[in-house]
Amino acid sequence: MSGRSRIAFSKTLNQMAIRKRAWVTPAGESKVAWLVDYRDQAGKRRAKQFRLKKDAEAWSVGAAWQVSRGVHTADSQSVTVAAAADLWIAKAEAEGRERGTVDQYGQLARLHIVPLIGAERLSRLTRPMAEAFRDELVATRSKAMASKAVRALSSILTEAQRRGLVAQNVAQGVRVTRPKRERAKVSIPTKAELRAMLDHAPDDMRPLLSTAIFTGLRASELRGLKWTDIDLKSATITVSQRADKFGEIGPPKSEAGHRTIPIAPALVAELTAWKLRCPKGKLGLAFPNGQGGVHQYGHLLRRKFFPLQAAAGVCDPVIIGGKPQVDKDGEPVMQARYGFHSLRHAAVSAWIKQRIDLKRLQVWMGHSGIQLTLDTYGHLIADASQDAELIAAAQAEFNS
User: Which of 242, 230, 238 minimizes the C-alpha distance to 272?
Assistant: 230
| Per-residue pLDDT, 324 | 83
| Per-residue pLDDT, 229 | 97
| Per-residue pLDDT, 108 | 96
Asked if residues 57 and 18 have their Cβ atoms less than 8 Å apart, the reply is: yes
| Per-residue pLDDT, 207 | 97
Asked if residues 211 and 278 have their Cβ atoms less than 8 Å apart, the reply is: no
Asked if residues 168 and 154 have their Cβ atoms less than 8 Å apart, the reply is: no
Please name the fold of domain 81-182. Answer: DNA polymerase; domain 1 (1.10.150)
User: Which of 140, 141, 137, 121 minimizes the C-alpha distance to 175?
Assistant: 137
Please name the fold of domain 191-347. Answer: hpI Integrase; Chain A (1.10.443)
Residue 306 to residue 105: CA distance in whole angstroms: 30
191-347 matches 81-182 in CATH topology: no
* CA atoms 253, 259, 264, 269: torsion sign: positive
| Per-residue pLDDT, 10 | 77
How many Cβ atoms are within 10 Å of 45's Cβ, its own excluded? 9
Could you state, in order of their start, the residue ranges of all structural domains in the chain?
3-72, 81-182, 191-347
Strands (E), the chain: 17-24, 30-39, 45-50, 230-231, 236-239, 242-243, 249-250, 259-262, 315-317, 319-320, 323-324, 334-336
Residue 354 to residue 358: CA distance in whole angstroms: 12
Mean pLDDT by 10 residues, the chain (400 residues): 70 81 86 84 81 80 75 73 93 88 94 94 89 95 93 94 84 84 72 96 95 96 97 96 90 91 95 96 95 93 95 91 82 90 93 88 90 80 58 59
* CA atoms 196, 198, 199, 205: torsion sign: positive
For 391, residues 6+ apart whose C-beta sits below 8 A from its C-beta are: none
- ∠ at Cα 320 (315, 322), nearest 5°? 100
- What secondary structure letter does DSSP report for 332? B
3-state secondary structure (DSSP) of residue 35: strand
| Per-residue pLDDT, 384 | 47
The partner residues of 203 in beta bridges, in order of sequence, read: none
| Per-residue pLDDT, 258 | 95
**What's this model's pTM, rounded to 2 decimal places?**
0.68
